[in-house]
């Protein structure tokens, strides 16, 4: 009897092992992430209150996959940029959002589809209604805590805040990133530019603490 129970137990463990292994294979994406808002995410209370009802309705989100698979497809090296626009500050949970997703043209058709599915499944609330998906060359460079993302009609240049003030003064961080991050930090935006018109209007920001960066995982 013990022998049969032992065999049954082994079979059950094997089945669960296959399930967990399959899940891990499908959702083990990791990489670099940076986003820029049209509002300071680290600022004094007066500055925050002056922006929260007038701006902060647009953002750019950029992913650089450093390892992992989705739906069995290896996405290592895939880069994506999403432009998001809403009818209210992005901190408002009921703000109506729409987004354009740009996938690096170096990704294969299979990789692009798998990456798109991952983003839609995991970040649906942040992206809102995806009105356009296209392919274009994307450069995503990270040098320590400096980020540079460039594609046609969009560019992001972000660097670390001096002395990590966002960690020493967390009461002055007014927003949360649009995706969950490990080791989340506030970044200083030296330049952010969106010149397209697919979602929202063209905009640019510079010289402010309007960015988040860190490691994403799915």
3-state secondary structure 147-179: EEEEECCEEEEEEECHHHHHHHCHHHECCCCCC
Counting the structural domains of the chain, the total is 1
Better-scored residue on pLDDT, 90 or 48: 90
In this prediction, residue 103 carries a pLDDT of 98
Would residue 17 count as lying in a domain? no
Would residue 207 count as lying in a domain? yes
Would residue 9 count as lying in a domain? no
Task: Tell me the backbone φ, ψ of residue 11, rounded to 5 degrees.
Answer: -65, -40
- Give the CATH number, domain containing residue 196: 2.40.400
Better-scored residue on pLDDT, 165 or 113: 113
Would residue 14 count as lying in a domain? no
Would residue 21 count as lying in a domain? no
Name the least confident of 94-98, 106-110, 113-117: 94-98
Q: Sorting pLDDT into bands at 50, 70 and 90, what band is 26?
A: very low
What average pLDDT does the segment 83-98 reach?
94
Regarding pTM above 0.75, the answer is: yes
Name the least confident of 9-13, 70-74, 180-184: 9-13
CA distance 189 to 12: 52
10 pLDDT exceeds 50?
no
164 pLDDT exceeds 60?
yes
Would residue 111 count as lying in a domain? yes
Q: Percent of the chain having pLDDT more than 70?
A: 85
Domain span at residue 200 reads 28-217
CA distance 117 to 70: 9
Would residue 175 count as lying in a domain? yes
Give the tokens for residue 136: 């274009």
Q: Sorting pLDDT into bands at 50, 70 and 90, what band is 43?
A: confident
**Residue 8 CB neighbours (<10 A):** 10
Would residue 13 count as lying in a domain? no
In this prediction, residue 209 carries a pLDDT of 95
Q: Sorting pLDDT into bands at 50, 70 and 90, what band is 45?
A: confident
Bridge partner residues of 30 (DSSP): 67, 217
CA distance 152 to 197: 12
Q: Sorting pLDDT into bands at 50, 70 and 90, what band is 13?
A: very low
| Beta pairing class for 146-151 and 139-143 | antiparallel
Name the least confident of 98-107, 168-177, 205-214: 168-177
Bridge partner residues of 83 (DSSP): 60, 100
In this prediction, residue 166 carries a pLDDT of 64
In this prediction, residue 163 carries a pLDDT of 72
CA distance 125 to 46: 29
Q: What is the mean pLDDT of the chain?
A: 88
């Amino acid at each position: 009897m013990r022998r049969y129970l032992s065999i049954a137990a082994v079979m059950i463990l094997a089945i669960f092992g296959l399930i967990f292994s399959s899940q891990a294979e499908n959702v083990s994406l990791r990489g670099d992430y940076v986003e820029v808002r049209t509002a300071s995410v680290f600022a004094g209370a007066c500055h925050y209150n002056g922006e929260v009802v007038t701006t902060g309705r647009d953002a750019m989100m950029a992913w650089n996959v450093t390892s992992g698979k989705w739906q069995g497809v290896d996405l290592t090296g895939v880069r994506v940029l999403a432009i998001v626009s809403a009818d209210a500050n992005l901190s408002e949970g009921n703000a109506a959002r729409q987004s354009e997703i740009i996938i690096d043209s170096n990704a294969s058709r299979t990789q692009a589809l798998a990456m798109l599915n991952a983003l839609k499944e995991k970040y649906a609330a942040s992206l809102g209604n995806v009105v356009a998906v296209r392919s274009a060359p994307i450069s995503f460079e990270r040098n320590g805590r400096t980020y540079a993302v460039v594609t046609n009609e969009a560019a992001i240049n972000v660097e670390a805040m001096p002395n990590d003030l966002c960690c020493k003064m967390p009461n002055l961080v007014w927003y949360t990133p649009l995706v969950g991050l490990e080791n989340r930090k506030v970044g200083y935006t030296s330049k952010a530019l969106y010149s397209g018109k697919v979602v929202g209007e063209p905009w640019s920001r510079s010289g402010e603490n309007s960015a988040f960066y860190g490691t994403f995982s799915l």
